[in-house]
Structure 1
Amino acid sequence: MSVLSYLQKIGRALMVPVATLPAAAILMGIGYAIDPSGWGSENALAAFLIKSGSAIIENMSVLFAIGVAYGMSRDKDGAAALSGFVGFLVVTTLCAPAAVAMIQRIPLEQVPAAFGKINTQFVGILVGIISAEIYNRYSQVELPRALAFFSGRRLVPILVSFVMIVVSFILMYIWPAIYNALVTFGEYIQQMGSVGAGIYAFFNRLLIPVGLHHALNSVFWFNVAGINDIPNFLGGQQSINAGTAIAGITGRYQAGFFPVMMFGLPGAALAIYHCARVENKAKIASLMIAAGFASFFTGITEPLEFSFMFVAPVLYLLHAILTGISVFISAQMHWIAGFGFSAGLVDMLLSVRNPLATQWYMLIPQGVVFFILYYLVFRFTIKRFNLLTPGRELQVVGDEADGYDTDVDTVLLSKGDETQALARRYISAIGGSDNLTGIDACITRLRLNVKDSAQVNESLARNLGAQGVIRLNKESVQIIVGTRAEIIASAMRNVLAAGPVSAARSVSQIAAPETAPLAVAPSAAAARPVVVSLMSPITGDIVTLEQVPDEAFASKAVGEGVAIRPTAPEVLSPANGTLVKVFGTHHAFCLETDTGAEVIVHIGIDTVMLNGQGFTCLVEEGSKVTQGQPILMLDLEYLTAHAQSLISPVVIANMEAFGTISAVATGKVIAGQTRLLDITAK
């Protein structure tokens, strides 16, 4: 799995804990608005709201440890979440100042200040990742009988505890060095004036994912290097009289955050919403509205930032750059407003009457500009590079919005009841729910794990419309059902969730749908007019379907056509038409030509197991494409090393609607230039 794919997996896992943050941010914002100076000490309601919200915000790191461990575990089991929590407790306890003093045999006052900041998002995410990997690897281990109680999932928290001792030991030595390096860096750039303010803001955002922005904040906001921006600004006239603050200067490390938090990030949220799939927009709207409002009203940006920082790191880099530009502009122009909590509407209104606020109102038009800038930059980047921001990576159905983490895309069903009935019958044909242990799908086939493949009734499956049944071994079966494979697989999961399904015993128990057999007209019909000619989508060498190392393709159960062994990375559209399906892992796509032919281009064999690594999709599902338009880019070096085979079938899945198919090309073919297949009318 590539680094980007792994980061996207982390990002999807973070969606569960991130979804709790907007409510906490709003509670704290309202409480702070009620009691802006006392932080709840002078108002019971304000204290209640602030403490309620801070209970979540101040424990983000442990929420991340639990959420990442749970979200990245292969079966989303509670034991993984428990392991994340256990691991977090071990690390933060061993790396707490008192523990460090005891372990290293030094006085408490000599413990580096960095250990007071060990409870960060970085540690939470790190612990969650390690816990999930241990769970995925060891949750099914069986110990000797005497220790059988600790086998499987019970073993994972024990292993995590020991691993975290090692992690803690490493952090004891590298954490202070990292923390102190950031403080030194902050002290250096403070001499650079407005430019230094912009550089600080850039790194402030860039360090949010690992929680180390506190090291920089201590330099510029508090009295580590003599700046003391927040305390001096909040001191108002008293700070000026004491000579500790300078009007037009004090607050410059704060002011530029207002245009970003109040305007820029909500613009980014709008772009993410507009770029989501149509069927996902209702779900994404609720998330983006809550996160955008939290950013605007309170200045708490983590709910929004964590929604895209891992799934689309390039967007987060652009966000950091734009933040740096905003802080530089406001510092250079001496547009100053400060905050005590964060750069949201509440703090802006409170800072208006502060004597240190200078032309604070200019931050509003600057914010409007940044709203537009963020929207345009985010929307262009998401579309141009097909980034998998929330709502784009899969199609959310029903209540499946908890992390956007499924193995295959689920699809909205226009014929829900009919599909559910068909799915139930397939389960019956497989031997019922008692025989079925796992459901997956490729672009044309159901990939099923069963207890005994001998219980699968092939004749019943064919009566349901299956084009073939392949028994790979005793526990693995593939059923060729065509391009609706993912829809049927999703419906099968829903049926199983509703209750058990019994095995079918005869053909009469399963109503046979009206299906036309897959057939190719005899060669005598070749005189019929050619309705579509397909150009080769791939540059490479022609291989007959019989030579494809996959029974489904070799037996022509998936469709008629040829295969190509790629020698160049670009995959083009073989004809004009609509890209009706792009598989989630980008290893295959289905094109419906303008003449109605369903063309499946499948790169390699069993490449679905690579989880998208080695493939870059250039066109969105549902797009109209023209012949020769680039669809995919392949990393041939990676695929050659990791794929079972690179032989890539190009087949017509609905030949029953046409007459004959003939292979025109032999030998070597060039993508977009060599005529590959001719299809005639029926």
Structure 2
Amino acid sequence: MMKYLQKIGKSLMLPIAVMPAAALLLGIGYRLDPAGWGANSSAAAFLIKSGASILDNIPILFAVGIAVGMSKEKDGSAALAGLVGFLVITTLLSKDSVAMLTKVDVEKVPVAFGRINNAFIGIASGIIASEIFNRFHKTQLPMAFAFFSGKRLVPILTAATMLILSPVFFFVWPVVFGALIAFGEAFLKLGPLGAGIFGFFNRLLIPLGLHHALNAVFWFDIAGISDIQNFLAGTGVKGMTGMYQAGFFPIMMFGLPAAAFAMYQEAKPERKQQIASLMLAGAVTSFVTGVTEPLEFAFMFVAPLLYGVHALLTGLSLFIASTFHWTAGFGFSAGLIDFSLTSGMPMANNPFMLLVLGLGFGAVYYLLFRVLIKALNLKTPGREDEDNEEELKIEVSNSNHAEVAAAIYEALGGKENVVSIDNCATRLRLEVKDSSIINDKKIKQVAAGIIKPSKTDVQVIIGPLVEFVANEMKRL
């Protein structure tokens, strides 16, 4: 089950990757017309409406993205099937269709059917389409129907499946909708405490790769919270909308870079030059883009106590920002780029106080990390016990992706052990025959970290350039 949830979380990254485009268009549009939101400027209206075209169709993007991401061959017919499945179910169970099919007045149709076009249904449609693709994309039909064999059969079967499932959804969806809304409302009632709890578990789930699935519940329209969509669209409550995003800025822009500096200073003198490049690359990436995994995996497993402290401090940051109603949002992650784009948006509230809060968290991270590393003799990067094994002369930040891919591929056991290669935003996601024969040490010399969720599943943490490494590995 956990492996399946990881696949869903990974697949969500494809449609979520479109969000920075929406943030860029909306950010510039709101900057051009901060008062009228397009009413006073044709250029602003053009940009805002362009960004809204992405936001308003997140459910469709999820259906297509997950169908592609979870299909074995990442084929276009899977994407088409995801779209077909979504259109069938949302059309059949729309408010007007339900009213016509049940012969009742449209005003008496349950409100759930008025909200059938949402991210949850998009995800469900994508999953169903991908499962049909994986099972039937090589099916051969009798000669008379041969034209519809193989991949052409997948969208047809998906449409038929959705027709069969529509009566089930008719009874199940109102119950699911009610449960999701109840969950969202319960969490919103927790206010700052709820934001803090979310922040804590957001970091805690990163080693398992399940944080993307958790994020989707709070950031998109699955449980009625929809924090990112509402923030970027300028809807919601000023000072409240953005509460599940704002507190990440102090951590990613200041806290983790300060932790990186502390780990550099606590490294052994003879290792400092080597560790400096690793920590500097991770700190700059975190500050500018909000991608934190290269840094987090540097100490996550060698010093789990520090990672627990990091998770608690992240929750505290979200709690404080929410308590004082300091809000900012992001289309990708809580780095400088997104802060620059969203700090002028209508839902932003005293966003620059997040920078002040960040300075405070930077000091806390630096002091706590230095004290704990020294007092407990934690084996953070540069403090490991020496060994006599020959080291690979390739840095994590090396732009020669072919060399990095070759080193990882060899350490994995090559073609004799590697079954499939995939990637998400920052990780290689691999299926192998036997993870016990992998040379972890060699991989850690060229990557930020390695996780083995099971005997046949491996994740290698690369960073934002992971796709280039994945492509080189596929070529090998």
TM bin, normalised by shorter chain, reads 0.5 to 0.7
Q: Out of 199, 206, 216, which is 1:209 matched to?
A: 216
The secondary structure found in structure 1 opposite 2:442 is coil
Distance 1:44 1:134, change over 3 A: same
Q: Once the two structures are superposed, what CA deviation does each residue of 1:272-320 show, in whole Å capped at 9, x if it has no partner?
A: x99xxxxx99x99999788549xxxxxxxxxx99xx9xxx9x9xx9999
Is the counterpart of residue 329 in structure 1 residue 324 in structure 2? no
Is the counterpart of residue 134 in structure 1 residue 113 in structure 2? no
Rounded Cα–Cα distance in structure 2 between residues aligned with 1:82 and 1:123 = 16
Q: 1:322: how far off?
A: 6.5
**Contact conserved, 1:254 with 1:327, CA < 8 A, in 2?**
no
TM-score by length of 2: 0.58
Code of the residue aligned with 1:158 in structure 2: it is I
Q: 1:197: how far off?
A: 6.6
The secondary structure found in structure 2 opposite 1:142 is coil
The secondary structure found in structure 2 opposite 1:215 is coil
Distance 1:114 1:344, change over 3 A: farther
The secondary structure found in structure 2 opposite 1:73 is coil
The secondary structure found in structure 2 opposite 1:621 is helix
Distance 1:288 1:80, change over 3 A: farther
Is the counterpart of residue 148 in structure 1 residue 146 in structure 2? yes
The equivalent residue for 2:111 is 113
Distance 1:131 1:144, change over 3 A: same
Q: Out of 420, 442, 451, which is 1:621 matched to?
A: 442
The equivalent residue for 1:264 is 251
Rounded Cα–Cα distance in structure 2 between residues aligned with 1:202 and 1:583 = 24
Q: Once the two structures are superposed, what CA deviation does each residue of 1:149-191 show, in whole Å capped at 9, x if it has no partner?
A: 2211111111101112244433333333333334445656777
Distance 1:410 1:201, change over 3 A: closer
The equivalent residue for 1:411 is 406
Q: Out of 42, 67, 70, which is 1:69 matched to?
A: 67
Code of the residue aligned with 1:209 in structure 2: it is A
- Aligned residues between the structures: 376
Code of the residue aligned with 1:411 in structure 2: it is A
Code of the residue aligned with 2:96 in structure 1: it is A
Distance 1:373 1:17, change over 3 A: farther
Distance 1:290 1:137, change over 3 A: farther
Rounded Cα–Cα distance in structure 2 between residues aligned with 1:103 and 1:286 = 57
Q: Where in structure 1 are there 5+ consecutive unaligned residues? A: 223-228, 234-250, 275-279, 294-303, 384-391, 399-408, 414-439, 448-484, 491-581, 590-600, 603-616, 625-630, 640-682
Distance 1:73 1:269, change over 3 A: farther
Q: Where in structure 2 are there 5+ consecutive unaligned residues? A: 203-210, 262-277, 332-337, 370-377, 382-395, 422-427, 458-476
Q: 1:324: how far off?
A: 5.5
The secondary structure found in structure 2 opposite 1:75 is coil
Aligned identity (percent) is 37
Distance 1:140 1:61, change over 3 A: same
Q: 1:20: how far off?
A: 2.6
Q: Out of 353, 357, 376, which is 1:366 matched to?
A: 357
The equivalent residue for 1:21 is 19
Q: 1:107: how far off?
A: 2.0
Q: Once the two structures are superposed, what CA deviation does each residue of 1:3-49 show, in whole Å capped at 9, x if it has no partner?
A: 33333433444443333321221111111121223221221111111
Matched ranges for 1:469-508 at <5 A:
none
Distance 1:442 1:129, change over 3 A: farther
Distance 1:367 1:99, change over 3 A: farther
Distance 1:369 1:157, change over 3 A: farther
The equivalent residue for 2:4 is 6
Distance 1:78 1:36, change over 3 A: same
Q: 1:134: how far off?
A: 1.0
Matched ranges for 1:451-600 at <5 A:
584-585=430-431, 587-588=433-434
**Contact conserved, 1:140 with 1:152, CA < 8 A, in 2?**
yes
Matched ranges for 1:103-252 at <5 A:
103-184=101-182, 195=193, 198=196, 208-210=215-217, 211-212=220-221, 215-216=224-225, 230=236, 233=238, 251=239
More helix by share: 2
Distance 1:622 1:24, change over 3 A: same
The secondary structure found in structure 1 opposite 2:74 is coil
Q: Once the two structures are superposed, what CA deviation does each residue of 1:597-628 show, in whole Å capped at 9, x if it has no partner?
A: xxxx75xxxxxxxxxxxxxx89453459xxxx
The equivalent residue for 1:477 is none
Matched ranges for 1:431-446 at <5 A:
none
The equivalent residue for 1:80 is 78
Rounded Cα–Cα distance in structure 2 between residues aligned with 1:367 and 1:633 = 33
Q: Out of 82, 90, 96, which is 2:88 matched to?
A: 90
Rounded Cα–Cα distance in structure 1 between residues aligned with 2:288 and 2:100 = 44
The equivalent residue for 1:47 is 45
Code of the residue aligned with 1:262 in structure 2: it is F
Rounded Cα–Cα distance in structure 2 between residues aligned with 1:176 and 1:34 = 42
The equivalent residue for 1:551 is none
Distance 1:35 1:174, change over 3 A: farther
**Contact conserved, 1:255 with 1:338, CA < 8 A, in 2?**
yes
Code of the residue aligned with 2:54 in structure 1: it is I
Rounded Cα–Cα distance in structure 1 between residues aligned with 2:191 and 2:72 = 50
Q: 1:137: how far off?
A: 1.1
**Contact conserved, 1:83 with 1:156, CA < 8 A, in 2?**
yes
Distance 1:150 1:35, change over 3 A: same
The secondary structure found in structure 1 opposite 2:90 is helix
More strand by share: 1
Rounded Cα–Cα distance in structure 2 between residues aligned with 1:169 and 1:320 = 43
Q: 1:202: how far off?
A: 8.0
**Contact conserved, 2:27 with 2:342, CA < 8 A, in 1?**
no
Distance 1:146 1:290, change over 3 A: farther
**Contact conserved, 1:259 with 1:370, CA < 8 A, in 2?**
no
- TM-align CA RMSD: 5.9
